[in-house]
Amino acid sequence: MKKVFLIFIVSLLLTTIGCQSYEKELIAEDTASVEYAVESGSSSPAVVDSMESSGDVVSGEEAAFAEERMISYQSHMSVEVDSLMESMGHIQERASDYNGYVVESSFFESETNPYGTMVFRVPEQSFVLFMEDVSDHVRKVNHQEIFAQDVTEEYVDLQSRLSSKEAVEARLLQFLDEAEDTENLLAISKDLANIQEEIERIIGRMQYLENQVSFSSVSIDLKESAVRVGTIQGEEDLNTWEEAKKLFIDTVNFLITSVSAIIVWLIGLSPLLIPLFVLAFVILFRLRRNKEKKETID
C-alpha cells in the first residue's frame, strides 16, 4: 500500500512539473510575439489584419440587440386643405407637440391653387400618431405611403467592426509605448492614425443609423382645394395716372439719352469724320465744276 501511494505521489509531481514547463513556454511565446511586433513596427498589414481578426467576434450583447431590430420609417402624404397657410402652421405646431422638427418647408403662390411642401422628423414612437393628426386636420388625403428599411444587420456589423478596430487600437497603443527607435514609432503611429480614422468613420455611420431609426421622416405635399377667383380691377389696382407719368418720363429719358449718345459719337469720331467731309466736299465740287465746263462747251 505504501508502495502504491509513493508511485501516486511521484506521478503527481511529474505532472505538475510538466504543466509548469508548458505554461512557461506559452508565456515565452507570447512575449516573443509582442517583441516581434514592436521590433517590426507593426507596419505590416498582416499584423494589423491578424489583430482585427482576433477581435472580430459578435458579443452576446450585440446578438441580443439584433433581436430588437432597427427599423427606419419614412412616409409621404399628398393632401388637400381649405387654407394652405393655416394648415401648414397647424401641422408644424403638432410636430412640435410630438418633439419633432421641420427639415424643409416651401410655399408656392398660384392664381388658382396655391401649394406647398413640408418635411418633418418626428420620434419613431409618435410616427403613426402624427400622421393620424395630419389626416384628421386636412380636407382630403389623396395619397399616402410608408417605407420601412431594416438596418439591424448593418448596425450589428458596424458594432462588430468597431470592437475589432478598438482592440487593434489598444494593441497599437501598447506597441507604441514599448517601441524604442524612431522608425518603429513612425510606423506604429501611421497604423494607429489609420485605425482611429476608421473608428471615427464607423462611429459616424452608427450615429446616422441611430438617428434614422429614432426619428422618422414625414414628407407632406399640400394643395389648397378652393379655387381662387380673380376680382375686377379697380382704379387703385390699375394706377393709370402713375403708369402714364412713368411712361412719359421714360420716353423723355430715352430721347435725352439718344441725343447725348449721338453727340458723344460725333465728337468722338470727329478726327475721322472731318477729313471725310472735306474730301467728299472737294470731290463733289470738282464733279460739279467739270459738269459746268461740259455744258459751256456744248
pLDDT at site 289: 81
Cell of 208: 446616422
| In the block, residue with C-alpha cell 448596425 | 155
Q: Which residues contact 83 (CB under 8 A, 6 or more apart)?
A: 224
- In this predicted structure, what is the pLDDT of residue 276? 87
Predicted confidence at residue 237, as pLDDT, reads 57
Instruction: Give pLDDT < 50 ranges for the chain.
Output: 1-48, 50, 53-60, 62-63, 65-66
**Res 290: pLDDT:** 80
Pairing of strands 71-81, 140-150: antiparallel
For residue 94, the model assigns a pLDDT of: 92
As beta bridge partners, residue 108 has 115
Give the integer Cα–Cα distance in Å for 58 and 163.
Answer: 9
- Mind giving me the DSSP string for 105-118? EEEE--SS--EEEE
Q: Residue 21 has what pLDDT?
A: 44
Position 181 scores a pLDDT of: 85
What does the pLDDT read at residue 27? Answer: 36
Residue 81 confidence (pLDDT): 92
Instruction: Look at residue 236 in the predicted model and tell me its pLDDT.
Output: 57
Q: What pLDDT score does 205 carry? A: 95
Q: What are residue 216's DSSP bridge partners?
A: 122
